[in-house]
Amino acid sequence: MLAPAPSGAVIAQPLTLDGITHSYGAGLAVDNVTLEVKGGELVALLGPSGCGKTTLLRIVAGFIEQSNGKVIIGDRSIDTLPPNRREIGIVFQNYALFPHLTVAQNIAYGLAARGESREIQLERVREMLATVQMQAFAERKPRQLSGGQQQRVALARALAMRPRILLLDEPFAALDKNLRLDMQIEIKRLQRQFALTAIMVTHDQDEAMAIADRIAVMNSGRIEQLGTPVEVYDQPASLFVNSFIGSSNLLPATISGKVEGGYAVALANGAAWQVMSPARFAAGQSVIVSVRPEQMLLADEASPARFPVMLKLSLPIGGEMIHDVTAVDGASLKIAMPRRPGMVASTTASAFCGLGEHARPVLFPLSPS
């Protein structure tokens, strides 16, 4: 490690959102959200624009006063504190670096505001510059820095205040794709090093999957599902979560009977599958079966668990071959299979489509009651 961890025993504080509700005029922006972020945990608020994730972040920061509910750090409610007394660090979406101040002055700003001595400011600036590996840039102005460098400064500025909580607002949106991974690793490293409890707001599921310990998928002001990236991906709680996280094929089907741990389903396209599901369905009920593209396969031989498809297009994308196929009922599906080296687009026009070996299809009721 390049910089020593902050001295003294640092214990990460849990952050609790207790029944937060907020409305703008007539619309509910945040609808009774309860979320417990454990000490040292990074939770991503993931959702489309307008789902209330940014409003929630601004409520935690103190920029918006919620209509109802409590924000608690440790065991203390912070709702009565103004933004400048909350001791929460924020990395703003476009970093919000002070354009007329140098990197060093930006980092020292909070300490100066707090009235710390010049020695302490210098010392902390030096430490933070080392932490984000920006020692050579202390006297630069923000506009002379690249996007990644600006983000490092924004992190250093926030961490210089030794915050208890770190909020990240779309931290990677303004970065080039190949820079993102570096910064994701960097943020994860700093979050561990400083024992920070963190909330990240993002609309990008890859970002959330990459660095969050848990993901809260939000939709119209509510948390639809809270879980680890793997849980959210493999066991989406709703059709919305299912479609928002990754891509999937949705196949209409009917429940034909119960089996151990799940159901036998008859797909509309003729195939019969057994799908594990903890949910409760009645025989004959119409359902949607969702399968991830990489959990399906194409085969030459027919079987009761496979249905015939017409191959429209095959694209070699990196290590995968993406097939675009049409089932007999006209449904369009995507199938991703590992590409053997040298394999090019398939020449056969028709094939049989089935589940891969470790496939975990998910059942959803057709019309949620």
Structure-block tokens of residue 130: 């080392």
d(CA 255, CA 34): 34
* Smallest distance, another protein to C-beta of residue 119, A: 19
| Residue 171 binds another protein, judged by CB under 8 A | no
| Residue 92 binds another protein, judged by CB under 8 A | yes
Structure-block tokens of residue 336: 């991703």
| Residue 117 binds another protein, judged by CB under 8 A | no
* Smallest distance, another protein to C-beta of residue 127, A: 17
Sole binder of another protein in the list 29, 103, 156, 161 (CB under 8 A): 161
* Smallest distance, another protein to C-beta of residue 113, A: 4
d(CA 103, CA 67): 37
At a CB cut-off of 8 Å and minimum separation 6, what does 52 contact? 22, 29, 30, 31, 33, 218, 220, 221, 222
Q: Identify how many contiguous H helices and E strands the chain contains and give both numbers.
A: 8, 20
At a CB cut-off of 8 Å and minimum separation 6, what does 332 contact? 324, 325, 326
| Residue 25 binds another protein, judged by CB under 8 A | no
* Smallest distance, another protein to C-beta of residue 73, A: 15
Residue whose entry in the numeric block shows the structure tokens 């299809």? 361
* Smallest distance, another protein to C-beta of residue 89, A: 7
| Residue 63 binds another protein, judged by CB under 8 A | yes
* Smallest distance, another protein to C-beta of residue 83, A: 4
Eight-state DSSP code of residue 214: E
E-only strand ranges, 11-75: 15-24, 27-37, 42-46, 68-73
3-state DSSP assignment of residue 130: helix
Structure-block tokens of residue 242: 């299912």
Sole binder of another protein in the list 85, 118, 258, 312 (CB under 8 A): 85
Count of residues binding another protein (CB under 8 A)?
28
| Residue 114 binds another protein, judged by CB under 8 A | yes
| Residue 98 binds another protein, judged by CB under 8 A | yes
d(CA 169, CA 357): 39
| Residue 127 binds another protein, judged by CB under 8 A | no
| Residue 174 binds another protein, judged by CB under 8 A | no
> Which of the stretches 87-95, 130-138, 186-194, 198-206 binds another protein when contact is defined by CB under 8 A?
87-95
d(CA 316, CA 273): 29
Closest alpha carbon to 45 in 219, 183, 181: 219
| Residue 24 binds another protein, judged by CB under 8 A | no
* Smallest distance, another protein to C-beta of residue 141, A: 13
Asked if 279 and 237 count as a contact pair (C-beta separation under 8 A), the reply is no
| Residue 94 binds another protein, judged by CB under 8 A | yes
| Residue 283 binds another protein, judged by CB under 8 A | no
> Which of the stretches 72-80, 94-102, 220-228, 315-323 binds another protein when contact is defined by CB under 8 A?
94-102
| Residue 100 binds another protein, judged by CB under 8 A | yes
Sole binder of another protein in the list 34, 68, 77, 84 (CB under 8 A): 84
* Smallest distance, another protein to C-beta of residue 25, A: 13
* Smallest distance, another protein to C-beta of residue 193, A: 20
Q: Which amino acid is at 306?
A: R
DSSP H helices, the chain, are 53-61, 103-113, 118-131, 147-159, 177-193, 205-211, 229-234, 239-244
Indicate the pairing of strand 15-24 with strand 68-73: antiparallel
C-beta atoms surrounding 49 within 10 Å: 7
| Residue 87 binds another protein, judged by CB under 8 A | yes
d(CA 52, CA 224): 12
| Residue 184 binds another protein, judged by CB under 8 A | no
> Which of the stretches 22-30, 111-119, 259-267, 322-330 binds another protein when contact is defined by CB under 8 A?
111-119
Which residues in this chain contact another protein in the complex, by CB under 8 A? 61-63, 82-90, 92-94, 96-100, 109-110, 112-114, 157-158, 161
